[in-house]
Structures are given as structure tokens and as C-alpha cells.
Amino acid sequence: MTMIQHIQKELTPLYQKLNSHHIYKKVDDNNKLQTFMENHVYSVWDFMSLVKFLQNHFAPSSPPWKPREHKDIIHFINDIVLEEESDHLPDGRTMSHFEMYCLAMAEVGANSDKPFSFVQNITSTNLQEQMNSFDLPLEIQAGVQKTFGFLDSHKPHIAAAAFCFGRENMIPNMFRELLNKMNISKEQAPLFHFYLSRHIELDGEIHGPMALKMVEILCADDKQRWEEALTTAQDSIQSRINLWNYIESIL
């Protein structure tokens, strides 16, 4: 068994817990969808910092440029940034997935001004201050702090494990459950449906396997790194379960 297979086996019960969560079927009217989105939007946002951290590791943007190792990972991470930071809407407009999510929120009458203002003046040093001044619930803060905690470790294999197991290999099944079980039609929330389907399509086939490869490259033969990758993966999935528990409790 490879180390990746070992991690995947260890994560199976957590993924099962996440995918069988009761929150999905509880999103059954417009009010609940608004509440769901107003709280979930912060993990849509913090994902980008994970991606940018990894892009900066494999394909730094600061000059002078030079050829670097792991070209297929560079292609992969640049491709993710392209789609996440500048994707096309069905009407042809181009924007980040965070902005797309905010539009989808506005479409169903959720408060998209709050997350948008929250990120406007965000810096690398005022995150906690912003979360306090925008009165984000402690449960939401915990999820964001978890993500930025991974980045604060300055260990690329930890960021990659959070990205790989806590996002790319987790999101397609999770969103599939949400699409199947929530009682919100495509007519009620067209952009939200588009957002979910787009992620199932993008992440499923190519992103998942490439993210696994990224973890393999970064952990290489280092036993401690593999252990940290597993712990990070478990923490990330648990963090999402905690977020779902919280949102379910206020629906």
C-alpha cells in the first residue's frame, strides 16, 4: 500500500461522516439556503489563500523567472488559479469563484455585502481583527483560523494536504450530496446550482489525482511529513464537519 492509499484508507470514516451529514437535506427552503450560504462563503474565500500559497511555492510570481521542477504540478496549480480566480459565468462574464458565490448569494436574497466588505480591507495581519469587527460566529472563525494555521506553518506539504484531502478530493462528493439532497431547484437558485456543478466537474476527474501527486512530491520519503499530511487531512475534514454542525444548528 502506498502512503497515499494509507491516508485515503484512514480518512474513509471521516469522509463517510461528512457525506452523510444531515445538513444537505435540511437546506430545503430559501431562508435556509440564505443562512447556509452566508456562513459557507468564508470557506469559499479562504480556499483561495491555500491555492495562492501553493502556487507561490511551485511557480512563484516574483521576478526573475526561471524554469522550475515539477512542470505538471505547475500546470495544474496555474490551471486551478485560472479557473478559481477568473472563471467564466454562463453569461460570459469573468470573475473569481468567491465573487461568483457572492452573486449566487445575492440571487437568492442572501446578504452578500457582508462577506464582500469583509474581504475588501483584509491584509496578512488583520484577519482576526476583521473577523471580530464583522462579528463572525466563533464557529466560522475556527474554520478560517484552521486554514490560515496551515499556511502559518510555512510547510508546503501541510498546505498541500489541506488542499488535497480537505478540498479537491473532498468537495466533488460533498457537493454531489448537497445537489442531490437539498430541496432547492435550479430555477430557484441558478447560479448556486452552476457553482456546485462546476466544482463537481472541475475537481472530480483531473484536480483530485493531481492534488494527490502534489502531496506525494512534497512528502517524498519523509516519514514525519507523511504523518503531518495525515493529521492535516483529518483536521481539515473535521473542520468542515464542525462547520456543517454549526450551520445545521442554526437552520
Binding positions for Fe ion, rule: CB under 5 A? 84, 97
**Distance between CA atoms of residues 185 and 150, nearest Å:** 36
CB 78 within 8 A of CB 55: yes
Kind of pairing between the strands at 94-95 and 87-88:
antiparallel
Residue 46 or residue 84: which is nearer to Fe ion going by CB? 84
Backbone angles phi, psi at 87, to 5 degrees: -85, 165
CB 172 within 8 A of CB 205: no
CB of 75 to Fe ion, least distance (A): 18
CB of 97 to Fe ion, least distance (A): 3
Query: With the C-alpha atoms ordered 141, 142, 147, 153, is the resulting torsion angle positive or negative?
Result: positive
In the chain, what is the straight-line distance between the N-terminal and C-terminal CA atoms, in Å?
Answer: 42
> Could you give the angle at which helices 71-85 and 97-107 cross, rounded to 10 degrees?
30
Residue 97 or residue 157: which is nearer to Fe ion going by CB? 97
Residue 188 or residue 197: which is nearer to Fe ion going by CB? 197
**Distance between CA atoms of residues 117 and 105, nearest Å:** 14
Residue 82 or residue 220: which is nearer to Fe ion going by CB? 82
Residue 32 or residue 167: which is nearer to Fe ion going by CB? 167
CB of 6 to Fe ion, least distance (A): 28
CB of 203 to Fe ion, least distance (A): 8
Residue 168 or residue 235: which is nearer to Fe ion going by CB? 168
CB of 57 to Fe ion, least distance (A): 20
Tell me the residue number closest to Fe ion, measured at CB.
97
CB 242 within 8 A of CB 142: yes
Give me 166's grid cell: 480537505
CB of 239 to Fe ion, least distance (A): 18
